[in-house]
């Protein structure tokens, strides 16, 4: 048949082509060259994939470390919030106790003032007959009244000082925490980020 003829005709053509151009590669050589190129590209791809994987791993480790640091930070924030809340409760309880004491003292002072008024009234009646004695008693009453008023003022100052000190203490505790703990975690995060960039 005609098939072997075609094959015979095709081969000389290819040889003639190679002879004409000289530098032109045969299909086999072209295939071999392409295969070498593919192998080289595959090797490069493997290397690049390896580098990419290492970078991804480092990135994931950094993300995990960052998440851990943030979790630590949140825990410390929660603990400090609980401490502050507890201190506020104690402060309110003390404030209530002090106010209760003030009320008792104020009532006592009022009672004594009322008694003094009654005593004064009684002394008014005696004045007609015992002027000199009464003058002495008046001086004593005035002295006692002054002492009671001084006592009330002193106690008021004392209470104000105590409440001010407690407010300062709670504020100082909150600020201290914000500076110390907050700053430290911030520093840790910064150090970690710098370390990650360096590698």
- What was the pLDDT predicted at 122? 85
Judge whether 148 and 109 are in contact, CB under 8 Å.
yes
State pTM to two decimals: 0.28
- What was the pLDDT predicted at 187? 72
Name the band, by pLDDT with cuts 50, 70 and 90, for residue 7: very low
122-179 pLDDT, tens digit per residue, is 877 776 777 877 778 889 999 999 999 999 899 999 999 998 998 888 888 877 766 6
- What was the pLDDT predicted at 46? 92
63-101 pLDDT, tens digit per residue, is 999 999 999 999 999 999 999 999 999 999 999 999 999
> 7-21, 56-70, 86-100, 103-117: lowest mean pLDDT where?
7-21
- Which string of DSSP letters, residue by residue, matches 5-67? HHHHHHHHHHHHHHHHHSSPPPHHHHHHHHHHHHHHHHHHHHHHHHHHHHHHHHHHHHHHHHH
Q: Is residue 38's pLDDT more than 80?
A: yes
Judge whether 109 and 152 are in contact, CB under 8 Å.
yes
């Amino acid at each position: 048949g005609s098939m072997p003829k075609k094959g015979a005709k095709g081969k000389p053509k290819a040889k003639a082509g190679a002879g004409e151009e000289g530098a032109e590669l045969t299909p086999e050589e072209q295939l071999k060259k392409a295969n070498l190129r593919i192998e080289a590209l595959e090797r490069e791809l493997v290397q690049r994939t390896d580098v990419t994987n290492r970078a991804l791993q480092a990135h994931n480790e950094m993300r995990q470390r960052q998440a851990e640091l943030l979790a630590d930070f949140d825990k410390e924030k929660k603990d400090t919030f609980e401490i502050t809340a507890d201190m506020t409760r104690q402060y309110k309880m003390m404030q209530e106790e002090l106010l209760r004491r003030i009320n008792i003292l104020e009532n006592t002072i009022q009672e004594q003032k009322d008694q003094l008024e009654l005593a004064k009234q009684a002394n008014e009646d005696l004045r007609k007959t015992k002027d000199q004695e009464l003058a002495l008693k008046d001086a004593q009453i005035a002295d006692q009244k002054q002492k009671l008023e001084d006592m009330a003022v002193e106690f008021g100052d004392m209470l104000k000082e105590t409440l001010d000190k407690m407010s300062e203490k709670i504020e100082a505790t909150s600020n201290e925490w914000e500076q110390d703990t907050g700053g430290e975690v911030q520093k840790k995060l910064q150090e970690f980020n710098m370390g990650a960039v360096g590698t």
